[in-house]
Amino acid sequence: MSINYQQILNEIVEETQYLTGKGKVADYIPELAKVSPNQFGIFLQMMDGSSYHVGAAHTQFAIQSISKVFSLSLAVSLLGEKVWERVDVEPSGTAFNSLLQLEYEKGIPRNPFINAGALVVIDMLISELKKPKEDLMDYIRMLAGKNEVHINKKVAHSEKQHGFRNAAVANLLKDFGNIHNKVEDVLDLYFDMCSIEMNCAELSQTFKMFANHGVLPGTEKQILTRSQTKRQNALMQSCGFYDESGEFTFTVGLPGKSGVGGGIVALFPEQFTITVWSPLLNEKGNSIKGMKALELFTTKSELSLF
C-alpha cells in the first residue's frame, strides 16, 4: 500500500489549526522572544531521497537543544565508551536545567540531553579537539552536506547575557570535578552550539545518518558504529524531550529531539527523518503544535516503532 505523504502533511496543517496561538515562545532568551510565534513548517525526508514539506519548512531558526545530538555523537565517535563514565543514560524526570538533581547525584548528569549532561559533553570535546568550535561546526556541516550552517550571533549573545542558570550548573559540575576545562570556555561553546541556525529541511537531512545505522548517506563513511547509533537513537527515545519523553514515546513512538527554538526532529531507522517547527512551547519546553503534528503523522501513516 502506497502512502500519500503530501496529503498527510496537508491534513496535519488543517488538523492543528486549533492550536495556533497556544503556548509561549522561550522568552527567557530575549532574542528568541522576537521570533514570529505562529510560524509552522514540516519537512519529511525519506531515506530513498524523496521529500515532502508544508509551510515554513525552509525558514531558519535556532536549533537549541537539538544540537546536543550532534555534540554527543561527535564525542562518542572520538571517545567511545569513555563518554558514559561522566554522564548517565537515564531519563531525568525533572526540568532540563535542574540543579537539585545534579547536587543529589554528585555531579553526574542523568543523561547527555539535559543541560548538565550537554555541558559535560562539551567539556569532553574541548579536551579532545584542536579547534573545538570550528571542528564541531565542520562536523555538523558534514552531516548536513552543506557549508552554509552558521551560528546566529545575536541569539548566542542573548544566551550569554542571560545564561545564569547554565552558569550555575556548569560551576556546580566544576565543583564536583566533572568539568575539566575553564567554565567560561565550556559555556561559550555551549551557547554558540545552541544558537546554530538551521531549517526543517536541513535538520531532516542532518539526521539521516542516525536513521542510516551511522553511515553518512551518499557515502560509505561510517561516522558511528551500528551499536553506537542504536544507543544514540535509544537515548533520543527515552531522554530527547526532557521530562516529557514518556509522553512523546506514548503518543508518537519515534526517537527524536526537541529544542526550545520550537523545533523537533524524529526518525524511523531505514525509513525517514521528519522535522517540525512551531515556536510556541508548552510548560515543559516542547513545541505544542510540533508534538501534535508528529502524533498525527505516525497515526495517519501507521509508521512508528511500536
Taking only the tens place, the pLDDT of each residue in 49-79 is 999 999 999 999 999 999 999 999 999 999 9
Number of structural domains in the chain: 1
**Sorting pLDDT into bands at 50, 70 and 90, what band is 28?**
confident
Q: How much is the pLDDT for 161?
A: 94
Residue 195, in any domain of the structure? yes
Residue 306, in any domain of the structure? no
Taking only the tens place, the pLDDT of each residue in 229-258 is 999 999 999 999 988 999 999 999 999 999
- CATH number of the domain residue 255 falls in: 3.40.710.10
Half-sphere exposure of 41 (CA within 13 A, CB side): 25
The C-alpha atoms of residue 258 and residue 159 are separated, in whole angstroms, by 18
138 Cβ contact list (under 8 Å, min separation 6): none
Q: Count CB-CB contacts under 10 A for residue 283.
A: 9
**Sorting pLDDT into bands at 50, 70 and 90, what band is 88?**
very high
Kindly write down the DSSP assignment for every residue of 80-101, as one continuous string: GGGGGGTS--S---S-TT-SHH
Residue 151, in any domain of the structure? yes
**Sorting pLDDT into bands at 50, 70 and 90, what band is 99?**
confident
Taking only the tens place, the pLDDT of each residue in 258-284 is 999 999 999 999 999 999 999 999 999
What is the rounded end-to-end Cα distance, in angstroms, of the chain?
Answer: 19
Residue 232, in any domain of the structure? yes
Whether residue 93 has pLDDT greater than 80? no
Whether residue 164 has pLDDT greater than 90? yes
- Decide if 289 contacts 19 (C-beta within 8 A): yes
Active site residues: 65, 68, 190, 242, 260
Categorise residue 302: left if φ over 0, alpha if ψ from -120 to 50, beta otherwise.
Answer: left
Q: Count CB-CB contacts under 10 A for residue 280.
A: 22
Q: How much is the pLDDT for 1?
A: 64
The C-alpha atoms of residue 107 and residue 277 are separated, in whole angstroms, by 33
Whether residue 96 has pLDDT greater than 70? no
116 Cβ contact list (under 8 Å, min separation 6): 97, 98, 101, 102, 109, 110, 169, 172, 173
Q: How much is the pLDDT for 175?
A: 97
3-state class (DSSP) for residue 224: coil
Taking only the tens place, the pLDDT of each residue in 189-222 is 999 999 999 999 999 999 999 999 999 998 989 9
Residue 212, in any domain of the structure? yes
Q: Which domain holds residue 219?
A: 5-301
* Summary mean pLDDT of the chain: 95
Residue 82, in any domain of the structure? yes
Cell output for 224 = 558511528
Q: Within its chain, how far is the Cα of 214 from the centroid?
A: 17
Nearest in space to 143 (alpha carbons), one of 221, 199, 76: 221
Residue 261, in any domain of the structure? yes
Nearest in space to 140 (alpha carbons), one of 56, 77, 57: 77
Please give the average per-residue pLDDT across 138-160, as a whole number. Answer: 96
